[in-house]
Structure 1
Amino acid sequence: MTGPADEKDVTLLRPYLMTSGRSAPVDHTIEIEAQVVTSALGAASHPQLNFERRDIVSLCRTNMSVAEIAAMLKIHIGVARVLVADLAALGYLVVRRPDTDLPKDLRMIERVIRGLEAIR
């Protein structure tokens, strides 16, 4: 018979099992806002994948961020990064990174800040 303590141990062990004990993704540069989409290989391989990997490939048939994947599957963001990086390294997913060219127009930045303050 299992009790609440046993269930807690299982939930702590599960992320470790999902990532094969790894806490860092194979590509440590994957941002949580990076957009992920299933590749043709991923769509064709979908039936052979298991558990969260299959779920991620299925979710990413439309563009989805790493953060959205974690939220939809109710998994830790670090686990999502590891799994997405693994699937991308295998060619099942395509990762589209955000444009890192930040705007340099000070007036535009001030308008965004005033707009955000108005929302509060």
Structure 2
Amino acid sequence: MSREHEWVDEEAGPVVRPYAVARGRTKSAAAEVDLLATVASTGVPVPAKAELSAQHRRLLAVAGKSRPVVEIASDLGLPVGVVRVLLGDLLEHGLVTVRPPRDKATTPTESLLREVINGLRAL
């Protein structure tokens, strides 16, 4: 079949359904991970026994820098539920770490940040 007769193009998105990417699983060790939790690669070499898919490897590459779960899902073009399943697999192999989002109580307020900026400008 020639390229001009193909019904699937790059704009159509991935041909593989998210259900297949997650190997039919909907729950994992990371099922309850917050959308704003930060994921980072540990840098540990991938164990020989780990059967990682291309999507697992893409997630590892994206998690090279600390990123929130929701951004990783967006970058991979996958639903958050699928990303959580893949994260669970990577967590089991010790390939990523997940840190909960910062508590709002420890996040500085806008007024405090403005005071700091004004104080720095006054120096």
Partners of 1:72 and 1:27 in 2: CA distance: 18
- TM-score with structure 1 length normalisation? 0.66
Secondary structure at the residue paired with 1:40? coil
Counterpart in 2 of 1:68?
71
Where does structure 2 lack aligned partners over 5 or more consecutive residues? 112-123
Partners of 2:30 and 2:94 in 1: CA distance: 13
Counterpart in 2 of 1:59?
62
How does 1:16-95 map onto structure 2 within 5 Å?
16-41=19-44, 44-45=45-46, 49-95=52-98
> Mean alpha-carbon deviation: is it higher for 77-86 or for 22-31?
22-31
Contact 2:36 2:101 in 1 (8 A): yes
Where does structure 1 lack aligned partners over 5 or more consecutive residues? 112-120
Contact 1:30 1:85 in 2 (8 A): no
Partners of 1:27 and 1:70 in 2: CA distance: 14
Give aligned pairs, total.
99
1:96 to 95, 99, 112: 99
Provide the alpha-carbon RMSD of the alignment.
Answer: 2.9
Give 1 or 2 for the bigger CA radius of gyration. 2
User: Relative to total residues, which structure has the larger helix share, 1 or 2?
Assistant: 1
Please identify runs of 4+ aligned residues in structure 1 that moved more than 6 A.
1-4
